[in-house]
Amino acid sequence: MNANLESTVDTIIVGGGQAGLALGYFLAQEGRTFLILDQNGRPGEAWRQRWDSLRLFTPAKYDGLPGAPFPGDHLAFPTKDQLADYLEDYVRRFDLPFVPNVLVDQINRVGDVFTVAAGDRSWRCNNVVIATGGHHLPKKPQFAGDLDSEILQLHSEDYRNPGQLKDGPVLVVGLGNSGAEIALEVGKSHATQLAGRPSGEMPMRHGRTAARFALPMVRFLGLHVLNLNTPIGRKAAPGFKSMAAPLIRTKTKDLVAAGVHLVPRLAGVSEGRPVLDDGSRVEASNVIWCTGYHEDYSWVKLPVFDALGEPQQTRGVAHDVPGVYFIGQEFLFAAASATLPGVTRDARYLASRLAERNPGRATEPVLKQNAAGQAASENV
């Protein structure tokens, strides 16, 4: 036996974000042996590492995981730190087996058993769930390396607040939700240009009124209309991941009113300076890349991907390798699959498929109970 083998369990979940924790809740209800491995030091840390002013687009009434409604004002939009604290409390409340500081670098299969390796540590399991999402590597255009070395470059992953920036103008690249919100913030202290075009804008004003009347309809569409069980959902799914989300909270008119200058898309670099589609050159001391992420599954050494590196799966169940599952990815089953409102249904479904594959059950559920002595009700 490998001297560094930590344990053998029924299921290992790689990724301790909201998707992995929601699945952990249902596995705990079934009394199954499992571990949740996460690269961060504590639950919710991935949210804490995002920019300081970030708030969720969904109201608190839709942000809770199964068994634990999100606390506080149900029409408020939680901050990223409030969500991180909630996730940390969720692990504590239900005593989920969360293993921190584990960066998984390989998943292999030997016979019917999977080996999950992280440096000199490894675990064996009958099932493995990839709950990291597909977006790991910050994406920047190749010509970013041609910018003058005096220009400070940050990806949105590394941006925290305007205090990181140098004196002088800012060019934000990418007019999606991240780009719009960051540009609006840095525009208060720096002359700011925002390059790109939005894919669309939510027609109503985001806020408490929308949380009461409009967002329930959006949620319904994202869960029950745009999914793989409907013709319109199946038609929308292939292009969904490549389609930029419409602007939700910050609209183009908000940016213009705040003094942010909207400019064409970035085309390249000339003499160390950004050049736009119209041929004009931008003088900037800072460039913030709000250009998304690449998918990276190179650490999953299993034949579960197509020629483009996309998981071959249906509702999170891998096609060709029994015992491999995915959760938390864009349009795993529905448009809402990668969001807090969508992970509970996907987690419940995967837990049922895991139970079919491994029908044995512990005598008593290991789910930690609440103060009232009864398991809390599930979200739908």
E strand or H helix at 114: strand 113-118
Q: What does each C-alpha distance from 99 to 12, 88, 118, 167, 296 come to in angstroms? A: 11, 12, 12, 42, 22
- The answer to whether the beta carbons of residues 12 and 105 sit under 8 Å apart is no
Residues 64, 154: one domain? no
Which of 235, 259, 289 finishes a domain? 289
In tens, the pLDDT along 206-222 reads: 999 999 999 999 999 99
> Smallest Cα–Cα separation from 36: which of 77, 70, 65?
65
Percent of the chain with pLDDT over 90: 85
Residue 54 lies in domain: 9-136+295-357
State residue 375's pLDDT score: 38
* Helix, strand, coil percent values for the chain (each to nearest 5): 25, 25, 50
Residues 167, 151: one domain? yes
Residue 362, domain member (yes or no): no
Count helices and strands (H / E) in the chain: 9, 18
Residues 308, 182: one domain? no
**323 vs 358: CA distance, rounded Å:** 10
The answer to whether residue 99 scores a pLDDT higher than 90 is yes
Residue 328, domain member (yes or no): yes
Residue 232, domain member (yes or no): no
pTM: 0.91
Residue 317, domain member (yes or no): yes
In tens, the pLDDT along 335-372 reads: 999 999 999 999 999 999 999 987 654 434 444 433 33
DSSP for residue 68: B
Residues 117, 22: one domain? yes
Residues 76, 143: one domain? no
Residue 270, domain member (yes or no): yes
Residues 63, 118: one domain? yes
In tens, the pLDDT along 127-178 reads: 999 999 756 789 999 999 999 999 999 999 999 999 999 999 999 999 999 9
Residues 164, 255: one domain? yes
Residues 100, 187: one domain? no
- The answer to whether the beta carbons of residues 192 and 183 sit under 8 Å apart is yes
The answer to whether residue 51 scores a pLDDT higher than 50 is yes
Q: What backbone torsions phi and psi does residue 351 show, to the nearest 5 degrees?
A: -60, -40
**366 vs 372: CA distance, rounded Å:** 16
Residues 164, 191: one domain? yes
Residues 174, 125: one domain? no
Residue 229, domain member (yes or no): no
> Smallest Cα–Cα separation from 147: which of 283, 272, 291?
272
State residue 28's pLDDT score: 97
State residue 4's pLDDT score: 64
Counted domains in the chain? 2
Residue 65, domain member (yes or no): yes
Residues 325, 343: one domain? yes
Q: What does each C-alpha distance from 330 to 133, 142, 235, 339 come to in angstroms? A: 8, 25, 15, 8
- The answer to whether the beta carbons of residues 337 and 359 sit under 8 Å apart is no
- The answer to whether the beta carbons of residues 192 and 180 sit under 8 Å apart is no
The answer to whether residue 373 scores a pLDDT higher than 60 is no
- The answer to whether the beta carbons of residues 1 and 117 sit under 8 Å apart is no
- What is residue 19's three-state secondary structure? helix
CATH of the domain at 168: 3.50.50.60
DSSP for residue 164: G
Residues 251, 333: one domain? no
- The answer to whether the beta carbons of residues 325 and 353 sit under 8 Å apart is yes
Residue 47, domain member (yes or no): yes
> Smallest Cα–Cα separation from 268: which of 174, 141, 134, 133?
141
